[in-house]
Structure 1
Amino acid sequence: MEIVQENPNLLALRQRPIGFWIMGGIFLAVGVFIPQTFGLVTTFTCNRAKSANCQLVTSRLLGAQSKQIPLNILQGAKVEKDNDAEGNSYRVVIFTSNGDVPFTF
Structure 2
Amino acid sequence: MTVSDPNRAAFVTNEYRYATPTPAYAVKARNPSSRDITIETQIDAASAAAIASKYLAENSLPRAFEFEIADILTPDDFVGGPPSFILEGLGALSDGRTLKIVSASVNETAGTTLVQVRG
Higher normalized helix content (fraction of residues):
2
Higher relative CO (Cα under 8 Å, sequence separation at least 6) belongs to 2
On whether the aligned pair clears a TM of 0.5, the verdict is: no
Larger Rg: 1
Per the shorter chain, which TM-score range?
under 0.3
Normalization by structure 2: what TM-score?
Answer: 0.21
Higher normalized strand content (fraction of residues):
1
